[in-house]
Amino acid sequence: MKIAIVREQADGERRVAATPETVKKFKALGADVAIESGAGLTASIADADYAAAGAAVADRAATVAGADILLGVQGPSPDSLAGAKPGAWIVAGLNPFGERARVDAYAAAGFEALAMEFMPRITRAQSMDILSSQSNLSGYKAVLDAAAEYGRAFPMMMTAAGTVSAAKVFVMGVGVAGLQAIATAKRLGAQVSATDVRAATKEQIESLGAKAIFVEKVAGIEGEGSGGYATEMSDDYKAAQAELVSGHIAKQDIVITTALIPGRPAPRLISDAQIATMKPGSVIVDLAVEQGGNVEGAVAGDVVERHGVKIVGHRNVPSRLAADTSALFARNLYNFLSAFWDKDRNAPVLDEEIGNAIRLTQDGKVVNERLLG
């Protein structure tokens, strides 16, 4: 069993899919591990560290040759995988809805593509969930990015020269990223409030010491779909939410938006008119900018200014903390493969619940129901 880790080729991608820690663990399972030279450099991991852990470090062709399993952060180009075994697994974040042509190419090449972002949100798969591990650090980094752009301090400071007021931070969307953003902003001393369409998150917000801003008296809307993800809201709810949020946003110094709906464009949470009500020097960080954005006027990969308000739209925020996000991503991959490792076969054997959820291609065709439906 040969596990190959390739160097990421996507622009701006600094993460790597394995660390010396996980290389040692794969070796302990009985696998041979090969890694492309330079794969870990942007995540502060030298080739020598991989070699010391037992990996064979080589160029891409030698790394891929004869591989049974190919690990990546983002899906590797099918053209760059010549020499891998027929039916080899590709295990990575594959962006199945946004990169459908690449998924079709994996099928045509005979690979079995496994999309880690389709991992079901069930208890036994929590340690395999790349969306959670990466979003956690994205929420943290979003607050630091906001602080870097904000021309004032976060905590209240009482000095001989007078008092500096605490920054007011509003988090919209309280999933993993939002919860970490709340916790980080609180640690920095801000006054924090948050909102979400899922009623169950109110208790989570308050448990972190933040103020929950929720639409009341709109019956029958919980906002939670399968797997704990948000769903599309009714028109009545959207109108009530827009009215509530408009009044609150005008008083905020920093707003962080994190709302995503799987397989659909990000919901629009903040309009240009709402931005215009904010104080000059305020900051908005849009973590959903690559999926269309929660904020009108946000630009992927740029920091723009509208009505005196900075709108931060960095791409691939997890990659901005590459050393830590790589460590967590690599553990997710190891936890996944090791959970299904069959010692007799010296290979992982998937069960139906998780296998059917994440498998995109098999036997030359696309097989995932979410892509076929």
Give me the active site residues, please.
121, 126, 129, 132, 229
The residues facing 162 across adjacent strands are 159
Tokens 């464009």 correspond to 265
Sheet with 56-58, edge to edge strand ranges: 56-58, 32-36, 2-5, 69-74, 89-93, 112-115
CA distance 296 to 294: 7
The token pair at 357 is 């959820």
CA distance 312 to 142: 9
Tokens 């309009």 correspond to 271
CA distance 280 to 147: 15
How far CA 362 is from CA of 66, 88, 128, 143, 366, in Å, comes to: 18, 10, 21, 41, 7
CB-CB contact of 367 with 373 (8 Å):
no
CB-CB contact of 118 with 323 (8 Å):
no
CB-CB contact of 339 with 27 (8 Å):
no
Helix (H) / strand (E) containing 176: helix 176-187
CB-CB contact of 310 with 145 (8 Å):
no
CA distance 183 to 168: 14
The token pair at 313 is 């739209």
CA distance 84 to 63: 9
CA distance 43 to 184: 23
Measured from the Cβ of residue 228, the count of other Cβ atoms closer than 10 Å reads 12
